[in-house]
């Protein structure tokens, strides 16, 4: 019985750790595919979603390889944010600029 509990705990823990990485990966795809069409509200939602994903990731210890991959995904997100808003900041106002600064600050942590 103890072995079953331990095995379940280990499997659930690994799945949860990987789930957080998978969410970041899917989020990067979302930014890549749709970021150029985002409104200020969409960017606000993206900032909240990214913050939630980062909080989940920060709950776990990852291997060096996993940390490297997480960093690559975050770098891609930053690039997609830049691509999605370049040229739009002037038109969308300082609110969007603040949202973007917040997103980039989270990525740099």
DSSP 53-78: HHHHHHTS---HHHHHHHHHHHHHHH
- Which pLDDT belongs to residue 43? 86
Of 90, 98, 87, 93, the C-alpha closest to 35 is: 87
Considering the domain boundaries, does residue 45 fall inside one? yes
Could you read off the pLDDT tens digit of each residue along the chain, which spans 109 residues? 655 444 444 444 455 899 999 999 999 999 999 998 988 889 889 989 999 999 999 999 999 999 999 999 999 998 888 888 776 766 666 666 677 677 667 666 6
- Which pLDDT belongs to residue 78? 87
The domain of 44 spans 40-54+63-109
Hey, what are 3's tokens?
């072995």
Considering the domain boundaries, does residue 13 fall inside one? no
**Residues 99 and 44 sit within 8 Å (Cβ to Cβ):** yes
Domain count, the chain: 1
Mean pLDDT for the chain?
81
């Amino acid at each position: 019985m103890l072995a079953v509990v331990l095995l379940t705990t280990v499997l659930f823990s690994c799945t949860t750790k990987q789930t957080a990485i998978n969410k970041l990966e899917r989020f990067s795809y979302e930014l890549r595919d749709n970021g150029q069409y985002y409104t200020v509200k969409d960017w606000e939602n993206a900032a909240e979603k990214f913050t939630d994903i980062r909080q989940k990731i920060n709950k776990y210890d990852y291997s060096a390889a996993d940390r490297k991959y997480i960093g690559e995904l975050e770098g891609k997100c930053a690039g997609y944010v830049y691509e999605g808003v370049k040229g739009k900041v002037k038109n969308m106002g300082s609110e969007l600029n603040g949202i973007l600064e917040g997103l980039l600050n989270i990525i740099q942590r």
